[in-house]
Amino acid sequence: MSAEPSADVPLVVVGPGMAFDEIAALSTMPLPEPLPEDARLRGVQPHGAHRVYFALDERGFELPAGLFTVILFDGETVRRVTVTPQLDYLSFDATVGLAQRIEAAMRRAGWARILPEGDAPLAPIIAGDAASAADLLADGLEAQLRMRRVHPKDSPLARFLGLDDDGWLLDVTVARG
């Protein structure tokens, strides 16, 4: 299981307000063409392991390598980006640690946590199989860090996958406010 940035993994450079051609020109990850403008939901999903750099001027930050990213457009420009910055399922504690490292990087880039305020350590609020890790704001943008338990350790799939712990994923979403 890896959750750290790796320079040999292709990079997707994206941010709310960017056009597809700009994303494609700045990224080292080949991207499929977005769905046509008349499609109900216009978006792009990179295929294969990749890192994501949010190109947000002084608010930019990079996420570790992952396998899942969805870039949604409003007309010609990006409205919302959701990234799962991990290559495999993580334990709850490892997922919290990943969320804490990402939140710390975002706060260094000037993002402010909505609640709780201050410098208290990030502590997920758990509700069943999901946890709200953090909500942050910066320059008219909103970000959410959300944890999801996708495989309880006693489920047949978790046993098949050889998971010793529950399998958790972290989603990082950045959107125009």
Instruction: Tell me the pLDDT tens digit for each residue of 81-116.
Output: 999 999 998 998 899 899 989 988 998 999 988 765
Is 3 a residue whose pLDDT tops 50?
no
DSSP notation for 124-161: -EEETTEEEEEEEEETTEEEEEEEEEEE-TTSHHHHHH
d(CA 166, CA 90): 8
CA atoms of 165 and 95, how far apart (whole Å): 12
The helix/strand/coil state of 88 is coil
pLDDT in tens, 106-165: 989 999 887 655 555 555 555 556 666 678 888 889 998 988 888 777 888 777 877 788
Identify the burial level of 91 via C-beta atoms within 10 angstroms of its C-beta, where 0-12 means exposed, 13-18 middle and 19 or more buried: middle
pTM of the complete model = 0.84
pLDDT at 159: 79
Look-up of token digits 């399922």: 89
Domain boundaries, the chain: 11-84, 92-176
- Residue pair 55/26 in contact by the 8 Å Cβ criterion: yes
Question: Do residues 99 and 133 make contact, with C-beta atoms less than 8 angstroms apart?
Answer: yes
